[in-house]
């Protein structure tokens, strides 16, 4: 699968952008040229050399705030995806093996979680556990877990019911062997796709929550929070919301593209897709370099 992955340009584009955003999440605050919390400059100043993205309504440097807001926005989205993965995929895989009682219990739990509306649950959790970023992440992660549960369970079930697993069992293969050699390679691709989707969804939800003032308290900068405050000054700085918006959209787009790439190259369909692409390319080459028509002698 890896060799198929590196042949696609979309892989390099999507994973390149994701890597850039993740690095921004880790090192963004260190690169900020100004103190993101220090006001006192010109209010709502247009972009200048000293302030590349201008200043906000308190005179704070927007560029520094974007960089300083990256960890909360990006890493928390990854954290959401991680929590959802652990809380969803592992019970999903186990539900296929651990008997009917566990299966029934987890399925009902998942149905309940699916029925809860996202933002209402997050607001209720912060009301219960206090307003903090980790509480908000936990609630969002738990709410995304059903997606992983279903994806992991569905793909494990289809593999377990297959004849090649039965064939392996008949030749005396242990459960560990079947899981490692047959189930895991087929489950990892759909889980990877769900992970990329969840990180994208997580980023939007974290941005929405911070936009509503849940999770992170002002004056700490976040992309969603900046977007919310920028909207109040559209008359003076109509371009200001673009900075956080472009970053949010770019990250979500890259994550969705990565999910698409993973889906395209995984399994049988991936092989067919790549073969079709190779065929198309070969045809194009053939058109570009027409076969010389032999002259009649």
Say how many residues touch another protein, by CB under 8 A. 20
The helix or strand, by DSSP H or E, that contains position 127, with its residue range, turns out to be helix 118-129
Nearest residue (CB) to another protein, 222 versus 266:
266
In which residue are the tokens 């927007």 written? 62
263 binds another protein (CB under 8 A): no
269 binds another protein (CB under 8 A): no
Residue 208: both structure tokens together: 């929405």
Concatenated DSSP letters of 154-185: HHHHHHHTSHHHHHHHHTT--HHHHIIIIIHH
Nearest residue (CB) to another protein, 268 versus 296:
268
163 binds another protein (CB under 8 A): yes
CB of 172 to another protein, least distance (A): 3
2 binds another protein (CB under 8 A): no
Residue 165 to residues 15, 90, 180, Cα–Cα distance (Å): 34, 20, 12
Half-sphere exposure of 157 (CA within 13 A, CB side): 13
170 binds another protein (CB under 8 A): yes
CB of 107 to another protein, least distance (A): 21
Report the residue from 108, 112, 217, 271 that binds another protein according to the rule CB under 8 A: 271
CB of 105 to another protein, least distance (A): 22
171 binds another protein (CB under 8 A): yes
CA-to-CA distance for 60 and 22, rounded, in angstroms? 24
- ∠ CA 254-258-284, nearest 5°, is 100
Report the residue from 166, 218, 283, 286 that binds another protein according to the rule CB under 8 A: 166
Residues 234-245 as b/e (b if ≥16 CB within 10 A, e otherwise) read eeebeebbebbe
CA-to-CA distance for 41 and 218, rounded, in angstroms? 18
35 binds another protein (CB under 8 A): no
CA gyration radius, the chain? 24
Nearest residue (CB) to another protein, 16 versus 185:
185
Q: Interface with another protein by CB under 8 A: which range of 35-43, 65-73, 174-182, 213-221?
A: 174-182
97 binds another protein (CB under 8 A): no
Report the residue from 172, 290, 292, 294 that binds another protein according to the rule CB under 8 A: 172
Which chain residues interact with another protein by CB under 8 A?
162-164, 166-174, 177, 181-182, 185-186, 267-268, 271
């Amino acid at each position: 699968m890896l060799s198929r992955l590196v042949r696609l340009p979309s892989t390099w584009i999507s994973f390149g952008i994701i890597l850039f955003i993740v690095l921004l999440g880790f090192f963004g605050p260190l690169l900020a040229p100004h103190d993101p919390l220090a006001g006192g400059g010109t209010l709502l100043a247009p972009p200048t050399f000293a302030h590349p993205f201008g200043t906000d309504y308190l005179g704070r440097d927007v560029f520094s705030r974007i960089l300083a807001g990256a960890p909360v926005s990006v890493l928390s989205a990854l954290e959401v995806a991680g929590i959802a993965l652990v809380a969803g995929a592992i019970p999903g895989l186990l539900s296929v093996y651990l008997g009917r009682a566990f299966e029934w219990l987890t399925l009902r739990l998942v149905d309940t979680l699916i029925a809860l509306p996202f933002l209402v649950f997050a607001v209720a959790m912060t009301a219960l556990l206090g307003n903090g970023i980790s509480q908000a992440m936990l609630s969002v992660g738990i709410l995304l877990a059903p997606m992983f549960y279903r994806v992991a369970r569905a793909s494990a079930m289809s593999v377990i019911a297959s004849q090649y697993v039965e064939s392996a069992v008949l030749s005396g293969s242990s459960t560990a062997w079947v899981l490692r050699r047959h189930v895991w390679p087929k489950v990892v691709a759909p889980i990877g796709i769900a992970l990329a989707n969840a990180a994208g969804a997580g980023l939007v939800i974290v941005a929405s929550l911070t936009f509503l003032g849940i999770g992170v308290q002002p004056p700490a900068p976040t992309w969603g929070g900046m977007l919310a405050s920028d909207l109040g000054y559209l008359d003076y700085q109509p371009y200001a919301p673009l900075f956080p918006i472009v970053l949010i959209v770019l990250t979500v787009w890259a994550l969705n593209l990565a999910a698409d790439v993973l889906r395209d190259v995984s399994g049988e369909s991936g092989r067919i897709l790549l073969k079709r692409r190779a065929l198309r390319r070969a045809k194009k080459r053939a058109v570009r370099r027409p076969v010389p028509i032999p002259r009649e002698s």
